[in-house]
């Protein structure tokens, strides 16, 4: 990350000033290197004239991404200041859903008939380069259907009078409505540098390049890391203490309230704990194992929710699998802890109670680890920063209720 990009990313107070100190061309280069979160914050601070000055240094798909951060009225005002080529391209791209393959594509391609000659293709390239200033991908068509693409090396080496159908290479395709995870999966499974986007009638609507996918993967990884830590995407290491407090204090207060709930449960069994000190010794194990198991389930759920992999039909199946996993892991760890208690303390009742509590707690952690993030997502809350608190509380409460409740009944 360059010094300029670093300063703009992590200096929220002076971000606007630092960006405007750059030339329009430098602004275009820099804004492309910023994360989506920082881009959105920066664009919201800029005036229309400040945005329009650097837009045409970007590709049309990049301009589209910038405009998507703004209300419709501002989009229209900025569109009117663009050249005809950009207006046509951006208006097409804005029609598609930003969270699909179409939202990743650009229009840097030309279509040529497979009966065309190499010379005719070169002439089209010259026209396109003069119009856009860029060399496009050459897509080869037969009766309006895509059959492949033509590489620049083929053009350079071939006889100019030859027809291009002899030099066509295979290119992979994807539907414009495909979700991000499907596009990423296609790129990961196969080494492509581009994929053609088709509509429902198999007509070409755009092209996705590998650099766009790499940027998307990077953004998703960064967002998941912030989310799982329970920290706002807007918070940076250079933020002031008041700004950090603003992002964190609400959920910490909720966490404090839930901690008191757990404390109340434990206090209700104070007489039982007083009778057998070993219960106090082994209580942290119950809480720790439940919390760790819930965190594992939560991590999987957050990744699935962020990739839109979960639907109503799959949540129940996911819950069933997580409960089975929690139960089996509870049996394994319950057996281990029971053996250790017998070896260390020769107390069969505490060994049995602790094993049962372990099984119950890991099942509870699986249930809450699956359901809570889904509920939080439906309520429009960040599943990680909010769900972790409720999952930990649930595992502590049910774990202690089981452990201390059984102890009260069985140990006289």
DSSP string over 252-283: HHHHHHHHHHHHHHHHHTHHHHHH-HHHHHHH
Closest by CA position to 329, among listed 362, 354, 368, 300 = 362
Q: What is the chain's pLDDT, residue by residue, as a tens digit (412 residues)? A: 566 888 888 777 888 899 999 999 999 999 988 878 888 889 999 999 999 999 989 888 889 989 999 999 999 999 999 988 889 889 989 988 888 888 888 888 899 999 999 999 998 888 888 777 778 889 999 988 999 999 888 888 888 888 998 899 998 899 998 888 788 778 777 666 788 999 988 899 999 887 777 767 655 554 544 444 444 445 555 556 776 677 677 767 877 787 788 888 888 888 888 778 788 888 888 888 887 888 788 777 876 776 555 666 678 888 889 999 999 999 999 999 999 989 988 889 999 999 999 999 999 989 988 888 888 777 766 666 667 778 888 888 888 899 899 988 888 6
Contact (Cβ atoms closer than 8 angstroms) between residue 359 and residue 327 = yes
Contact (Cβ atoms closer than 8 angstroms) between residue 149 and residue 138 = yes
**Other CB atoms closer than 10 Å to residue 117's CB: what's the count?**
16
Residue 68 structure tokens: 């998507």
Q: What angle do CA 364, 369, 371 make, to 5 degrees?
A: 95
Alpha carbon distance 35, 215 (integer Å): 9
Q: Going from the N-terminus, what domains does the chain have, and what CATH number goes with each?
A: 3-95 (1.25.60.10), 104-228 (3.10.580.10), 241-410 (1.10.357.20)
Alpha carbon distance 240, 237 (integer Å): 9
Residue 106 structure tokens: 């650009």
E strand map for 8-136: 109-113
Buried b (16+ CB within 10 A) or exposed e, 197-210: bbeeeeebbbbbbe
Alpha carbon distance 85, 105 (integer Å): 17
In this predicted structure, what is the pLDDT of residue 27?
92
Q: E strand or H helix at 175, and its extent?
A: strand 173-175
Termini Cα distance of the chain: 65
């Amino acid at each position: 990350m360059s010094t300029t990009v670093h300063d703009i990313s992590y200096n929220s107070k002076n971000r606007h000033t630092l960006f405007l100190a750059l030339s329009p061309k430098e602004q275009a280069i820099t804004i492309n290197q910023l994360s989506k979160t920082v881009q959105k914050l920066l664009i919201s601070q800029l005036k229309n004239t400040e945005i329009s000055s650097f837009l045409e240094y970007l590709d049309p798909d990049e301009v589209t991404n910038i405009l998507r951060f703004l209300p419709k009225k501002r989009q229209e005002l900025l569109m009117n200041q663009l050249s005809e080529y950009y207006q046509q391209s951006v208006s097409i791209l804005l029609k598609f859903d930003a969270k699909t393959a179409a939202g990743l594509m650009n229009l840097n391609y030309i279509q040529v008939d497979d009966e065309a000659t190499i010379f005719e293709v070169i002439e089209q390239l010259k026209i396109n380069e003069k119009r856009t200033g860029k060399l496009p991908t050459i897509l080869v068509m037969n009766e309006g259907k895509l059959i492949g693409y033509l590489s620049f090396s083929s053009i350079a080496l071939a006889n100019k009078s030859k027809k291009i159908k002899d030099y066509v290479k295979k290119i992979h395709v994807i539907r414009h409505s495909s979700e991000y995870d499907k596009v990423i999966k296609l790129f990961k499974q196969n080494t492509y540098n581009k994929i053609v986007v088709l509509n429902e009638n198999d007509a070409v609507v755009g092209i996705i390049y590998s650099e766009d996918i790499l940027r998307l993967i990077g953004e998703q990884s960064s967002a998941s890391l912030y989310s799982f830590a329970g920290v706002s995407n807007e918070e940076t290491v250079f933020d002031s203490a008041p700004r950090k407090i603003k992002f964190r204090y609400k959920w910490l207060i909720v966490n404090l309230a839930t901690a008191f709930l757990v404390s109340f449960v434990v206090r209700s069994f104070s007489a039982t704990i007083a009778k057998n000190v070993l219960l106090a010794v082994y209580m942290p194990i119950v809480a720790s194992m439940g919390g760790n198991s819930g965190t594992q389930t939560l991590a999987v759920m957050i990744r699935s929710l962020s990739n839109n992999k979960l639907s109503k039909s799959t949540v129940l199946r996911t819950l069933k699998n997580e409960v089975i996993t929690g139960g089996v892991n509870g049996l394994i760890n319950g057996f281990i802890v029971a053996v250790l208690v017998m070896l260390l303390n020769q107390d069969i009742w505490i060994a049995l109670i602790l094993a049962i509590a372990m099984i119950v707690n890991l099942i509870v952690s699986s249930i809450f680890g699956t359901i809570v993030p889904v509920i939080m997502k439906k309520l429009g809350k960040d599943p990680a920063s909010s769900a972790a608190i409720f999952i930990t509380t649930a595992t502590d409460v049910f774990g202690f209720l089981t452990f201390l409740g059984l102890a009260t009944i069985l140990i006289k």
